[in-house]
Amino acid sequence: MHKREQIIEAAGRVFRAKGLSRTTTREIAREVGCADGTLYVHFDDRIALFLAVLEQNLPGFLKPLEALAQQVGRRTVRANLEAVLHGALEFQDQMLPMITSLFAEPELLKAHRDVLRRRNMGPHRSLQAVEDYLRAEQETGRVGRGCDPRAAAFMLLGACFYRTFLDHLMGESHAPPRARFVRDVVSSLNLGALPKAQHLPPERADAEP
């Protein structure tokens, strides 16, 4: 493994164990087994290193998100949204403990925000992708006009965030297993969004778009 990748892997372990605000570059270097200065060959500061850890965990979430635009009118609305929620839960489970630690250090939080703005990154992008997808599916008739795409996007991604937050805060899950949770969340939203003509009897619900 390349040294830069070793540093990212080590930083992720330390960030998860101690939080971003309490982690020093010296601790990360110790975890890697290298000199402190080696980190600065690859990264300018903790924020740059944190973003590298963030980006390492993003692909599993970004792939289904980026695919949404190409999935309009294809597969089923339910399958497309479930893929996004599975990715969101996996990403949030890895990153939430690190991200929340930012709020304990205002200067670090501000620096993080500044970098996200410069790179045009952040959770608002995933929210927009889901909103755009739902709006496009309204045009195909697979999502009803009564659905507010913006509110629906908040509900879908917000449900994942709250589940992850609750699991980490309480140290145990108060929700159904992940696969069932995702199905339940998407089904609850879709049944209200689809035109009545497209509703299927309960025994055929698994075949619904």
Of all residues in the chain, what percent carry a pLDDT higher than 70?
88
Among the residue ranges 6-15, 128-137, 138-147, 154-163, the one predicted with the least confidence is 6-15
Helix (H) or strand (E) holding 135: helix 123-140
Q: Comparing 6 with 181, which gets the higher pLDDT?
A: 181
Task: Report which residue type is found at 64.
Answer: P
Residue 141 and residue 168: Cα distance in Å, rounded?
39
What pLDDT is stored for residue 11 in this prediction?
83
Give me the DSSP letters along 67-132: HHHHHTTSS-HHHHHHHHHHHHHHHHHHHHHHHHGGGG-HHHHHHHHHHHHHHT-SHHHHHHHHHH
pTM score, whole prediction? 0.73
pLDDT 10s digits, 85-101 = 999 998 888 878 777 77
Residue 173 has pLDDT above 70, yes or no: yes
Q: Which residue has the tokens 């009118």?
A: 73
* Amino acid letter, 164: T
Q: What is the pLDDT of residues 11-63, one digit of tens each?
A: 888 887 777 767 788 888 888 888 878 888 888 877 788 778 777 766 667 78
pLDDT digits (tens, 9 = 90+) for 109-132: 787 788 778 878 778 888 999 999
Residue 209 near residue 194 (C-beta atoms within 8 A): yes
